[in-house]
Structure 1
Amino acid sequence: MNSQRIIVPKMSSVIAHEARSRAILRWLVRERVVEAALSTCGSTGNRMGHALAEGARKIALHPERVPLGEPFNGMEVVLKRCIYTPTDGFLEEAGCPGCRREVGEPLFDSLEEWMPGLTDNFTCPLCGHEDDINGFLFLQPCAFSNLGFIFNNWGEAGFTPAFIEQFADWLDQPVAVVAVQR
């Protein structure tokens, strides 16, 4: 089964997202987590990605499960506004951090305005609390952003907490790790 672990900043519009993605890529290449050159190791779009390198084992919770040598094991960088949710079993439930009540249906309906960039924010219809859509409470990890890092076939390898913390530091933003089974 093809799986992905996607690291996404919890911010709709990351400022200078292309420059930040290049800085993160340089960091991952220096750490030998990924290769510098693009190859056909991705699984989305044009299938171009940065193949995993031997250093990927040091960022994995389960190093023996890192998909080194698999054909679709690359890291892809997404530089456009996307919705990152699990594909199977996503509950589409969200809560307001202001009133702590369920606002899932109206929030997910608002994505029609969020996706084309008409807004980054959502306003709770129950209490009026307004925040970046990522500021609302979700039962499952998900994120909405103009930047994402897809690790293909990462499966059960997982990421170490230290790596996720470093990734968030490089982005200067909290991140979500979204698990997708395809």
Structure 2
Amino acid sequence: MSDHSISIVPRQSVYPDKEIKAKEILDWLVSLDIVKPTTSDCILSSTDGYPISEGARTVSSDPDLLPFGLWTSGLEIITERQVFHTGQNGMEGLICPNCKQDIANEDWDFLSEWGDNKSNHLTCPLCNVATDIHQFKFTPEWGFSDLGFTFWNWSSLTDSFISDFKQKLGCDINLVYTWI
């Protein structure tokens, strides 16, 4: 079985007071017993994550598929600029908001502008217009932010939980499904 994740990512390249918001979200998740308050080696990262807890059953669309028996089963909180990509799911389409062309099959060097923290924009390789990265349409969805919450090997999250999470963040989000 391969690992997968669901990331909730604000649609903001630079999230204001990201460390404060990360702690606020963690405290909320702990208060609902969705994750445990202490970290452990439960994520695919060099850092530790927050282990899944019994309350996760209340926010999962399929609680019987939650990874209680898996080593990799926790929450990773990211507070550094990161491209939240789909892994083996790849990219089927990438539509420029200016020229409306699909640029998914172009040389992806244009993504380095954002990844190297030179800009919050992408310059379309076809029309050469720079536009905020969040205006491009990625299929499947990708995320671009310096804040993100990745749930490792969890089953689908409920719409109400995603709505509550979005409200806590105070902005639109991307939901990124990654297969490794």
1:112 match: secondary structure: helix
Aligned counterparts of 1:129 and 1:61: Cα–Cα separation in 2 = 41
Report the 3-state secondary structure (helix = DSSP H, G, I; strand = E; otherwise coil) of the residue aligned with 1:158: coil
| Contact 2:15–2:146 under 8 Å retained in 1 | yes
Letter matched to residue 76 of structure 2: E
1:113-143, Cα deviation, whole Å (9 max, x unpaired): 2112110112445556643212211121111
Q: Where in structure 1 do 4 or more consecutive aligned residues deviate above 6 Å? A: none
For normalisation by structure 1, the TM-score amounts to 0.88
Q: Secondary structure at the match of 1:180?
A: strand
Residue 34 of structure 2 corresponds to 33
Q: Structure 1: how far apart are the matches of 2:115 and 2:19? A: 18
Partner of 2:103: 103
| Alignment partners' CA distance in 2, 1:129 and 1:11 | 20
Shift of 1:63: 1.0
Q: SS in structure 2 opposite 1:70?
A: coil
TM-score when scaled to structure 2? 0.89
Unaligned runs of 5+ in 2: none
Alignment CA distance shift 1:34-1:93 (3 Å): same
1:83 offset after TM fit, Å?
A: 0.9
Q: Which region of structure 1 is more displaced relative to structure 2, 108-117 or 142-151?
A: 108-117
Higher strand share: 1
Match in the other structure for 1:13: 14
- Aligned letter for 1:170? K
Q: 1:171 is matched by which residue type in structure 2? A: L
**Unmatched segments (≥5 aa) in structure 1:** none
Distance in 2 between the 1:72 and 1:91 partners? 25
Q: Kindly provide the CA deviation profile for residues 42-72 of structure 1, in whole angstroms up to 9, marking residues without a partner as x.
A: 22123x1101111101111111111124222
Residues 141 and 175 of structure 1: CA distance in aligned 2, closer, same or farther (over 3 Å)? same
**Separation in 2 of the partners of 1:115 and 1:28?**
29
Deviates further, 104-113 or 71-80: 104-113
In the alignment, the residues of structure 2 paired with residue 11 and residue 105 of structure 1 have an alpha-carbon distance, to the nearest angstrom, of 25
Aligned-CA RMSD value: 2.0
Percent identical among aligned pairs is: 31
Task: After TM superposition, list the pairs within 5 Å mapping 1:108-147 onto structure 2.
Answer: 108-124=108-124, 130-147=130-147
